[in-house]
Amino acid sequence: MDKHIFFTGFMASGKTRVGRRIAERLQREFIDTDVLIAEKAGKSISDIFEQDGEATFRKMELELIQNLVKSTSPKVISLGGGALSQEVIVKHIRNSGVLVRLWAKPEILSERIARKNTRPLMAGLNNEERLQKIKKMLEEREVFYSKADFSVESSNDYPEEHVCERVLHLLQFWKDHSIDVSTSSGERYPIFIGKQMFHKIGHLLEGLGLTPSHQFLICTDTGVAKAQANSLTTLRNQTAQAPVFKFRAGETSKNLTSLNQLYTFMLRRNFSRKTCLLQFGGGVVGDMAGFGAATYQRGIPFIQFPTTLLSMVDSSVGGKVAVNHSEGKNMIGAFYQPKAVVCDLEVLKTLPHQEFLAGLAEIIKYGVIYDSDFFKYIENNADSILKKEESTLKYLIEQSCKIKAEVVGIDEKETGLRAILNYGHTFGHAIEKLTNYQTFSHGIAVSLGMRVAARVSTLLNLWSKEEEERQSKLLNFFGFPSHFDVSIKEAWKAMGVDKKVEKNNRNYILPTKIGCVKKHANVEETIIQKAWEAIQAKEVL
């Protein structure tokens, strides 16, 4: 179903006029909630406030919106000024539509209000008083307006038609491919999944409140800069020729030395706290640039443009950013959320097959840990996945992002549920580290870790041998390796400094059936050893 479109904004920001035009363009019904409420009550809004009280008005407003969102024909709805102060209304809007904020400079609002002179709240004020009151009210209401998915300026410098065009451009992003990720602070950010989105990025950045005056910086790596030179040029063209900082490609450069080079680059160019960092790369660039954004001048906005399958389905969602330390992977890091994630399927065309597999490992992981139907989908569509058919890939990315968004929405800081995402990671990290991050990429190491974890579950009778076989059959079909040359003794030591070790308790995420995993503490070392060596020896149960 098409989404409803809601407009919010200060009085005289153009909600009704622009809303009406958009409704005409999209051939939808236009609704002004204040007008409907007044009609139903048979008196003006100010009379309702005066005679029945604000609580009565808010109740009527909530009832109206509850009914509107149920409607199966999508509408364009202009909201009253205080509608977003009701959290339950915000929830209804988020579940059923896109929330657009129109804004204008206070001076322009003041001039428009003075011209019409129909706003009771501004009655009797001179120019200066009106301007000050507008500024104060805008400040107070910012907390509500900032709930909008995107904002568009309704300036007097260009015609209303131009404002409508901008709104329509941005609606396209939300209509086609948006998933929301919620954060513990009650904020949220969108993930867009689609094709050829880079040439429209200027609109998106502006809608997210980032104009060229913010100054952009693009972070990438040497591999991506070469393979995706055209997309990089497009991104630069859309961001007033933003400077580009390149890390050396590969996990070995994910460290404080590389990060320090980024800080120096930024400081020498006088980048301020308003600079927006656009990361254009895989998980390595994303983690490093994200940590750079989290720490540069105590935090600057950043946006993820993932270029590997793994970074689209995993690393760019959820806000974990980090660099490695010689003592352990991702040991220096933070939780820091991007303003948006933009997955353009086009960039995957240059991705080497091994990197594709790395992402696929994380996708299969989601099936095992959370969603047996998704696992079944992967089994049933394995051929089309191997052929990298676009519609199948899009579905895989969407579903994976939905699962990850759901998990991190419940547990952003990994105090509980989020730990399930580490399935295969404890073993995988040890394999990566002990092969000096050279032999296996992260995703491939995770696939090996999943094989070990699955075998541990079988040995502990947590699931059946048949379930383990389903996982290994799928991994084998796609050509994931099944051998690794790392001694369990070394691995046992390495796993002792994993982040998932709490008060000397070693925690393992182990499957109990396809679609479900549990955290287990302190599995006996001999069981881990047996599972590890059995996988190395390709022993089938």
Ligand X SMILES: NC(=O)c1ccc[n+]([C@@H]2O[C@H](COP(=O)([O-])OP(=O)(O)OC[C@H]3O[C@@H](n4cnc5c(N)ncnc54)[C@H](O)[C@@H]3O)[C@@H](O)[C@H]2O)c1
Residues serving a catalytic function are 298, 320, 362, 404, 414, 418, 422, 425, 429, 442
Collapsing DSSP states into helix, strand and coil, what is residue 285?
helix
Give one DSSP letter per residue of 12-70, joined into a string: TSSHHHHHHHHHHHHT--EEEHHHHHHHHHTS-HHHHHHHH-HHHHHHHHHHHHHHHHH
Span interacting with ligand X, options 239-247, 302-310, 374-382, 514-522, rule CB under 6 A? 302-310
CB of 222: closest distance to ligand X in angstroms? Answer: 7
| 355 is a site residue for ligand X (CB under 6 A) | yes
How many whole angstroms from its chain centre is CA 507? 28
**Binding-site member from 122, 148, 285, 450 for ligand X (CB under 6 A):** 285
Q: What is the Cα–Cα distance from 524 to 519, expressed in whole angstroms?
A: 14
Relative to beta strand 216-221, strand 244-247 is parallel
Cβ-based nearer residue to ligand X, 80 or 318? 318
Nearer to ligand X, 5 or 403 (CB): 403
Q: Quick one: which of 228, 279, 392, 447 contacts ligand X (CB under 6 A)? A: 228
307 contributes a contact to ligand X by CB under 6 A = yes
The single residue among 351, 364, 369, 462 that binds ligand X, judged by CB under 6 A, is 351
Compare residues 221 and 468 and give the one whose CB is closer to ligand X. Answer: 221
- Dump the DSSP string for 72-135: SS--EEEPPTTGGGSHHHHHHHHHHEEEEEEE--HHHHHHHHHHH---GGGTT--HHHHHHHHH
Taking the least distance from each CB to ligand X, the nearer of 64 and 351 is: 351
Shortest Å distance, C-beta 474 to ligand X: 19
Q: Is 14 in the site for ligand X (CB under 6 A)?
A: no
CB of 233: closest distance to ligand X in angstroms? 15
Please state the φ and ψ torsions of residue 271, each to the nearest 5 degrees.
-65, 135
The verdict on 308 binding ligand X (CB under 6 A) reads yes
Contact predicate 293/398, CB 8 Å: no
> Count of CB atoms within 10 A of residue 460's CB?
16
Q: Which of 258, 275, 311, 337 binds ligand X (CB under 6 A)?
A: 311
**Least separation in angstroms between CB 94 and ligand X:** 24
Among 109, 227, 342, 401, binds ligand X (CB under 6 A): 227
442-459 helix and 525-536 helix, angle to the nearest 10 degrees: 120
Cα separation of 147 and 154, whole Å?
18
Closest CB to ligand X among 499 and 520?
Answer: 499
**Are the C-beta atoms of residues 400 and 443 closer than 8 Å to each other?**
no
Question: Residues 6 or more apart from 26 whose CB is under 8 A from it?
Answer: 5, 76
Rg value, the chain, Cα: 26
- Contact stretch for ligand X (CB under 6 A) within 192-200, 216-224, 458-466, 508-516: 216-224
CB-wise, 442 or 470, nearer to ligand X? 442
Q: Is 281 in the site for ligand X (CB under 6 A)?
A: yes
Tell me: does residue 451 bind ligand X (CB under 6 A). no
Q: Which stretch binds ligand X (CB under 6 A): 44-52, 88-96, 179-187, 347-355?
A: 347-355
- 99/87 Cα distance (integer angstroms): 14
* Residue span 317-336 as binding mask against ligand X, x where in contact by CB under 6 A, dash where not: -x-x---------x------
DSSP calls for 403-464: HHHHHHHH-TTSSSGGGGGGTTHHHHHHHHHHTTTTSS-HHHHHHHHHHHHHHHHHHTTSS-
The residue behind tokens 């396809």 is: 514
Q: Could you say whether residue 442 binds ligand X (CB under 6 A)? A: yes
Binding of ligand X by 151 (CB under 6 A): no
Least separation in angstroms between residue 224's CB and ligand X is 5
> Cα–Cα distance between 13 and 76 in angstroms, integer?
16
List, as one string, the DSSP characters of 140-206.
Answer: HHHHHHTTSSEEEE--SSS-HHHHHHHHHHHHHHHHHHEEEEE-TTS-EEEEEEESS-GGGHHHHHH
Q: Provide, rounded to whole angstroms, the least separation between the CB of residue 285 and ligand X.
A: 6
For the CB of residue 77, give the shortest distance to ligand X in the complex, in Å. Answer: 37
Q: Does 347 bind ligand X (CB under 6 A)?
A: yes
- Interaction between residue 426 and ligand X (CB under 6 A): no
Nearest distance, CB of residue 274 and ligand X, angstroms: 25
Nearer to ligand X, 212 or 335 (CB): 335
Q: In angstroms, give the least distance from the CB of 304 to ligand X.
A: 10
Angle between the 372-380 and 390-410 helix axes, to the nearest 10 degrees?
160
Let me know: does 336 contact 295? Beta carbons within 8 Å.
no
Helix (H) or strand (E) holding 394, with range, is helix 390-410
310 touching ligand X, by CB under 6 A: yes
Longest dimension (CA), the chain: 86
Nearer to ligand X, 443 or 449 (CB): 443
Q: Which stretch binds ligand X (CB under 6 A): 23-31, 350-358, 479-487, 509-517?
A: 350-358
Q: Which is nearer to ligand X, 19 or 223 (by Cβ)? A: 223
Give the x/- contact pattern for ligand X in 235-254, rule: CB under 6 A. --------------xxx--x
Q: Work out whether 33 is an interface residue with ligand X (CB under 6 A).
A: no
Residue 8 or 228 having the CB closest to ligand X: 228
- Smallest distance, ligand X to C-beta of residue 221, A: 5
Give how far Cα 440 sits from Cα of 247, 326, 477, Å.
20, 17, 19
Could you give the CA distance from residue 303 to residue 317 in angstroms, rounded to a whole number? 11
Residue nearest to ligand X (CB): 283
SS3 221: strand
Q: Contact positions toward ligand X, by CB under 6 A?
A: 221, 223-224, 227-228, 249-251, 254, 281-285, 287, 307-308, 310-311, 314-315, 318, 320, 330, 347, 350-351, 355, 358, 441-443
